[in-house]
Amino acid sequence: MEQIVIGNLLDDATSQFRPGRILLEGTHIAALEWGHFGPGEGSLYRPESFIAPGFIELQINGGLGYDFTTQPEAVFDVAAILPRWGVTSFLPTIITSPATTYLHALAVIGAAMGRTEGTQILGVHLEGPFLNPHYRGVHNPAWLQLPALEKVKAILDAGPLRLFTIAPELQDATKVINFLQQQGVLVSMGHSAATYEQTLTGHKAGALYATHLFNAMLPLHQREPGLAGAVLTLPEVKAGIIVDGIHLHPAVVKLAYQSKGAVGLNLVTDAMAGMGMPPGRYELSGQGVKVDKESARLDNSVGTLAGSILTLDRAIRNMQKWSGCSLAEAIQMVTRNPAQLLNLERKGRLVPHYDADLVVLDREGEVEMTFVKGQQVFPNLRQLA
């Protein structure tokens, strides 16, 4: 099937929006043409709208009341709803849990790959269990483990591991980092007390990413910059950030942008079961979480953050507002950057031969329409019914 969408297209060469039209043929982008076109010169006429590559989400624990770690079969339901927020592919994220739980989740999600309606699954992000107990955040300390190669081999055998978060300072962590990097897995540093030097060691072993920069790591200190200071100053290491206004102060979002630039950041939601749901009580990896209108927290004395209820389209709008970046730059942080991190050859850019994964945004940055591999998946008839 052939479709032609007219609007302001993200120009891959200049990273700016320009009027034009994009031709979709079957599952792929066939061509882009620049200039002003009339309503009769395309199948979809949106001259006021912005047309961007589909968003790629690297960290999402669940949504719609479901938790991927304990209910991995819910990836089908969540994949069906994610196009509403512009997400066209994602890494369901499994967090620290008993080995039987995370190995089962990897297998179930592996079996779901290629079979979801709506958003596509790219693989699994496993966050834990090799994390530092002092920076565990919401991760249950009972299930944290020390790194070991045989455990990692069991993980690789169980399912499609694509991204692995580990604290690089733990004993034998560098062996695990090095091994996974050789297996083509993106290794990320996080939930960690790593010093600046330990971060460099982790990076040299093959870690190229940091999980939710600033959250669950040593704070930036003038004599010990830690993981955060190392990542801010190392252009080779990219960083995920949660821009919900709760996890990071707006000024810290700006600091991250000014240090890393648009090429160095990746927006994630870290969303949990309460995403897309009314306030109430939900679960994250078997723990009770209280969700209000803005945040998700454990019911303990300090109210430990337990993921978020952020959506990726809102993260883009927040990023623009707080960092001063352009819409095109914020979109790069959920398209081209994650595609490069995962070595995706046909996603994250509007260029010929790439997958026809598109998001149409209105002037306010709200998602109007989403296409996955040339199919309109939002709004769709089932959701409108």
Name the residues annotated as catalytic: 270
Q: How big is the CA angle at 317 (ends 314 and 320), to the nearest 5 degrees?
A: 150
The neighbouring-strand residues paired with 238 are 209
Grouping H, G, I as helix, E, B as strand and the rest as coil, residue 182 is: helix
Kindly state the greatest CA–CA separation across the chain.
64
Is 359 within 8 Å of 53 (Cβ atoms)? yes
Query: What residues contact 195, with CB distance under 8 A and at least 6 apart?
Result: 169, 218, 224, 226, 227
Among candidate residues 86, 95, 85, 124, the one with its CA nearest the CA of residue 309: 85
Among candidate residues 46, 55, 59, the one with its CA nearest the CA of residue 20: 46
Query: What residues contact 123, with CB distance under 8 A and at least 6 apart?
Result: 91, 113, 160, 161, 162, 163, 342
Question: Please, is 46 exposed, middle or buried when counting C-beta atoms within 10 Å of its C-beta (0-12, 13-18, 19+)?
Answer: middle
**Cα torsion angle, 226, 153, 138, 333, sign:** positive
Is 19 within 8 Å of 8 (Cβ atoms)? yes
Query: What residues contact 371, with CB distance under 8 A and at least 6 apart?
Result: 24, 54, 88, 356, 357, 358, 359, 377
One-letter-per-residue 3-state SS of 247-311: CCCHHHHHHHHHHHCHHHEEEECCECCCCCCCCEEEEECCEEEEECCCCEEECCCCCCECCECCC
**What does the alpha-carbon distance between residue 237 and residue 92 come to, in Å, rounded to a whole number?**
22
Query: What residues contact 210, with CB distance under 8 A and at least 6 apart?
Result: 188, 189, 190, 217, 227, 231, 237, 238, 239, 240
CA distances from 128 to 82, 143, 145, 190, 320 (A): 24, 9, 8, 9, 31
